[in-house]
Structure 1
């Protein structure tokens, strides 16, 4: 089991899940305080929300690919001229989103799917005609080189782990509603024996073999890391899960300090990390397909595309 220099890598474990309990969604209504001018003036019929939200996109961690893509969008779209991407954390973003929805106020956030917020609130992605945010992503499993020989049963479970967005969101929602992540994972496992048996097929139980999994402290990855960890524990492994920032997570697997992760968003979100560490890890393929990133707004906002937003004057 490895030991991290927590100050050096900037561990994010201090993020509290309670930050994510961010109120209830709104079923409708429209904000009228933003005016009725679009990018071509009043003829567009779209509300101008930029001034209300200080021409600010509410982001997550600075190292996340969705933040980098949002910064590229600011440079690409005339409608985002003068806007800024404010970075904080995924928890702080979710809190700000919930507060805005409670008050039926405008907000633009960096968003991704799977995420519990799409089940909790009525949200939409803004269309991205320039393709800045790319196509659908995959969440991949990466392990340290040599794991297959060193811990073949752990390797096989990680290699066979695969699930659907709806399955992940079940666990995410239970955690968001206050259940301990490990307990939520156990509950899901007990109700999905067929899926779990496909992950453990062909493996043998072990007696206390240690496994270290790392993950970025996002709601989706809290869910997946805990589910995989609990499956491994049922197979006799002694599993430690460690939340880290994006770069340190990849570095830990690449350096062999951690055994693996099921939290690699590619090709865009973790593209910079894959470029740096990809040749030092073993790619076991997608454990979830159809992930997505982009700019997200509440459904009640009268905008459908990034081009409907207004440049700062």
Structure 2
């Protein structure tokens, strides 16, 4: 009899404990916002708390590149346009930016960067652009080749080759990826040219080679422009007989060098937005040979696992 009574008491005690735990759980949910896990709550504002958490985790910092880049000016404008008063744009370099991106992704941490395509990081990582409903970064851009005035008369072969030169982001991406994986830029460009002779021939067919004429190119230290300039240098030297000097400079000196005639050409002019200020200042002093690549893009970029979709989410 005593054994049965004891068992009944144990069962009752267990039921009381379970009811107490259930009551505590309901109380916690009602006081701490645990109900946000419901579908209704997720659809009605969970994104705001997520964006706030992302901001705190990244110290309200957007990781940028060199201060002279047009994308930095556009990002400063985006901070103002979208009312991101708490956010800071961090200056640096393309290499520093991708190093921080790699570190964040390996740790599965959030990060917000200034990004552009074509770029090898989109092939290596799962990334996404934040939507830009205010169109601060504009529509798709183009990369243009611009030359100094008089290049056509002084070096008609080089001028015609540069005028014909155009390629795709996938073609550029093959060289960028090889460089990123450790291949020397000049060797990567040569390997691509040797593997795509039909493409190279379409740029050089019928042109008369020269005998060691000197030519000077300039470019900014972006992975895309390193790829394109090394390719141009290889073709100009190996197929057309030029002695080419390629100068890696900031965006400002790149434009002023061509405008002043100290540099013959650059294939690294991002228009109409990224280098808009330089075009407005120097455009009339240059010869625009047109786009060598279309459909390029700039904006704010995050890893795909970061649960925000628009620049507006950063407010």
- Check whether TM > 0.5: yes
Residue 51 of structure 1 aligns to a residue in which SS? helix
Alignment RMSD (CA, Å): 1.7
Cα distance in 2 between the residues matched to 1:268 and 1:91: 22
* 1:84, distance to aligned residue in structure 2 (A): 1.0
* Equivalent in 28, 46, 55 of residue 50 of structure 1: 55
Per the TM alignment, residue 82 of structure 1 is displaced from its structure 2 partner at its CA by 1.3
Task: Give secondary structure in 1 for the equivalent of 2:190.
Answer: helix
Deviation at 1:307, TM superposition (A): 1.4
Unaligned runs of 5+ in 1: 1-34
Q: Which of 243, 249, 253 is residue 258 of structure 2 equivalent to?
A: 253
Please state if 1:174 is matched with 2:178.
Answer: yes
Q: Does 1:74 align with 2:79?
A: yes
CA distance in 2, matches of 1:44, 1:116: 31
Alignment CA distance shift 1:305-1:161 (3 Å): same
| Equivalence for 1:18 | none
Q: Does 1:232 align with 2:232?
A: no
4+ long deviations beyond 3 Å: 35-38, 40-47
Q: 1 or 2, which has the higher helix percentage?
A: 2
Q: Are 2:146 and 1:149 equivalent residues in the alignment?
A: no
1:285 to 276, 284, 290: 290
1:151-166 equivalences under 5 Å are: 151-166=155-170
Q: For each residue in 1:195-239, what CA deviation from the matched residue of structure 2 results, as whole angstroms up to 9, or x when unmatched? A: 101111231111101110100010000000000110001111111
- TM-score normalised by structure 2 residue count: 0.84
Q: Deviations over 1:16-51 (max 9, x none)?
A: xxxxxxxxxxxxxxxxxxx9999x853757443001
Matched, 1:305 2:310: yes
Counterparts of residues 42-121 of structure 1 (less than 5 Å): 42=46, 46-47=50-51, 48-78=53-83, 80-121=84-125
Provide the residue aligned with 1:19 in structure 2.
none
What are the Cα deviations for residues 231-256 of structure 1, in whole angstroms up to 9, with x where unaligned?
00111111111100000000000011
How many residues were matched structurally? 274
Question: CA shift at 1:63, angstroms?
Answer: 1.2
Describe the SS at the equivalent of 1:49: helix
SS for the counterpart of 1:131 is: coil
Specify the SS of the correspondent of 1:50.
helix
Structure 2: gaps spanning 5 or more residues: 1-35
In the alignment, the residues of structure 1 paired with residue 63 and residue 88 of structure 2 have an alpha-carbon distance, to the nearest angstrom, of 9
Q: Work out the CA distance in 2 between the residues paired with 1:72 and 1:250.
A: 22
Q: Output the CA distance in 1 between the equivalents of 2:151 and 2:265.
A: 9
Partner of 2:248: 243
- Say whether the 8 Å CA contact 2:47–2:308 is kept in structure 1: no
Q: d(CA) in 2 for partners of 1:70 and 1:43? A: 22
If the length of structure 1 is used for normalisation, what is the TM-score? 0.85
